[in-house]
A = this chain, B = another copy of it.
Amino acid sequence: MSDIEIAQKANMKPIIGLVKERFGIDAEHLDPFGHYKAKLSLEYVNSLADKKDGKLILVTAISPTPAGEGKTTTTVGLGDALNRIGKKAIMCLREPSLGPCFGVKGGAAGGGYAQVVPMEDINLHFTGDFHAIGVAHNLLAALIDNHITQGNALGIDPRRIQWKRVVDMNDRALRKIIIGLGGIGNGYSREDGYDIVVASEVMAILCLATSRADLKERLGRIVIGYKADGKTPIYASDLKAHGAMAALLKDAIKPNLVQTLENNIAIIHGGPFANIAHGCNTVTATKTALKLADYVVTEAGFGADLGAEKFIDIKCRMSGLKPSAVVLVATVRALKFHGGIAKEDLNQENLPALEKGFENLQRHYQNITQHYGLPCVVCVNHFTFDTEAELDLLQSKCKSLGANCVVSKHWAEGGAGAENLANEIVNIVDSRESGCTYVYDENLSSWDKIATIATKLYGASGIVASAKIKDQLLTWDENYGKFPVCIAKTQMSFSTNPNLKGAPSGHTVEINEVRLSNGAGFIVAVAGDMMTMPGLPKSPAAERIDIDDDGKITGLF
B171 near A543 with CB under 8 A, answer no
Could you mark each residue 195-236 of chain A with 1 if its beta carbon is under 8 Å from any beta carbon of chain B, else 0?
000000000000000011100100000000000000000000
B551 near A139 with CB under 8 A, answer no
Could you mark each residue 129-151 of chain A with 1 if its beta carbon is under 8 Å from any beta carbon of chain B, else 0?
00110010011011101100111
Interface size on A, residues (CB 8 A): 82
Not counting A173-B188, A247-B547, a sample of 4 additional A-B residue pairs whose C-beta atoms are within 8 angstroms of each other reads A32-B33, A32-B34, A125-B128, A240-B543
A286 at the interface (CB under 8 A from B): no
In the complex, which of the residues B102, B191, B549 contacts A213, with contact meaning CB atoms closer than 8 Å? B549
Q: Which residues of B contact A138 (CB under 8 A)?
A: 167, 169, 171
A173 near B34 with CB under 8 A, answer no
A555 near B145 with CB under 8 A, answer no
Residues of A1-41 contacting chain B, CB below 8 A: 31-35
Kindly state the separation between the CA atoms of A188 and B175 in the bound complex, as whole angstroms: 12
When C-beta atoms are compared, the residue in chain B nearest to A193 turns out to be: B182
Kindly state the separation between the CA atoms of A547 and B182 in the bound complex, as whole angstroms: 36
When C-beta atoms are compared, the residue in chain B nearest to A42 turns out to be: B551
A435 at the interface (CB under 8 A from B): no
A136 to B: closest C-beta gap in Å = 10
B536 near A212 with CB under 8 A, answer no
Q: Which residues of B contact A555 (CB under 8 A)?
A: 243-244, 247
Residues of A503-557 contacting chain B, CB below 8 A: 535-538, 540, 542-551, 553, 555-556
B124 near A247 with CB under 8 A, answer yes
A168 at the interface (CB under 8 A from B): yes
Residues of A40-64 contacting chain B, CB below 8 A: 42-43
Q: Which residues of B contact A175 (CB under 8 A)?
A: 181-182, 186
A251 at the interface (CB under 8 A from B): yes
Q: Which residues of B contact A167 (CB under 8 A)?
A: 138, 165, 167
Q: Which residues of B contact A187 (CB under 8 A)?
A: 172-173, 535
A178 at the interface (CB under 8 A from B): yes
Q: Which residues of B contact A373 (CB under 8 A)?
A: none
Q: Is the interface of A mostly helix, strand, loop or mixed?
A: mixed
B536 near A143 with CB under 8 A, answer yes
Give A contacts to B, CB under 8 Å: 31-35, 42-43, 98, 102, 120, 124-125, 128, 131-132, 135, 138-139, 141-143, 145-146, 149-151, 165, 167-182, 185-188, 191-193, 211-213, 216, 239-241, 243-244, 246-248, 250-251, 535-538, 540, 542-551, 553, 555-556
A171 near B150 with CB under 8 A, answer no
Q: Which residues of B contact A124 (CB under 8 A)?
A: 247-248, 250
In the complex, which of the residues B169, B180, B239, B547 contacts A135, with contact meaning CB atoms closer than 8 Å? B169
B128 near A145 with CB under 8 A, answer no
Q: Which residues of B contact A35 (CB under 8 A)?
A: 31-32
Q: Which residues of B contact A550 (CB under 8 A)?
A: 43, 212
A186 near B173 with CB under 8 A, answer yes
A145 near B131 with CB under 8 A, answer no
A196 to B: closest C-beta gap in Å = 11
User: Contacts A174-B179, A538-B150: A212 and B547 contacting too (C-beta < 8 A)?
Assistant: yes
Q: Which residues of B contact A142 (CB under 8 A)?
A: 102, 169-171, 173, 536
A132 near B139 with CB under 8 A, answer no
Kindly state the separation between the CA atoms of A150 and B170 in the bound complex, as whole angstroms: 14
Q: Can you spell out 19 A-B residue pairs with CB atoms less than 8 angstroms apart?
A: A120-B250, A125-B131, A142-B171, A143-B542, A150-B538, A165-B167, A172-B186, A176-B181, A176-B186, A181-B191, A182-B193, A187-B535, A211-B549, A241-B542, A243-B546, A244-B542, A250-B547, A250-B551, A250-B553
Q: Which residues of B contact A185 (CB under 8 A)?
A: 172, 535
In the complex, which of the residues B135, B179, B240, B547 contacts A216, with contact meaning CB atoms closer than 8 Å? B547
When C-beta atoms are compared, the residue in chain B nearest to A191 turns out to be: B181
A145 near B125 with CB under 8 A, answer no
Kindly state the separation between the CA atoms of A420 and B537 in the bound complex, as whole angstroms: 62
A132 to B: closest C-beta gap in Å = 6
A551 near B212 with CB under 8 A, answer yes
A343 to B: closest C-beta gap in Å = 21
Q: Which residues of B contact A244 (CB under 8 A)?
A: 102, 542-543, 545-546, 555
Q: Which residues of B contact A239 (CB under 8 A)?
A: 543
Kindly state the separation between the CA atoms of A250 and B553 in the bound complex, as whole angstroms: 9
A279 to B: closest C-beta gap in Å = 23
When C-beta atoms are compared, the residue in chain B nearest to A215 turns out to be: B547
When C-beta atoms are compared, the residue in chain B nearest to A212 turns out to be: B549
When C-beta atoms are compared, the residue in chain B nearest to A132 turns out to be: B125
When C-beta atoms are compared, the residue in chain B nearest to A183 turns out to be: B176
Kindly state the separation between the CA atoms of A165 and B167 in the bound complex, as whole angstroms: 11
B146 near A546 with CB under 8 A, answer no
Kindly state the separation between the CA atoms of A548 and B555 in the bound complex, as whole angstroms: 43
In the complex, which of the residues B125, B170, B240, B548 contacts A251, with contact meaning CB atoms closer than 8 Å? B125
Q: Which residues of B contact A171 (CB under 8 A)?
A: 138, 141-142, 145-146
B247 near A135 with CB under 8 A, answer no
Q: Which residues of B contact A180 (CB under 8 A)?
A: 172-173, 176-177
Q: Which residues of B contact A544 (CB under 8 A)?
A: 240, 243
A226 to B: closest C-beta gap in Å = 19
User: Contacts A131-B131, A250-B553: A139 and B177 contacting too (C-beta < 8 A)?
Assistant: no
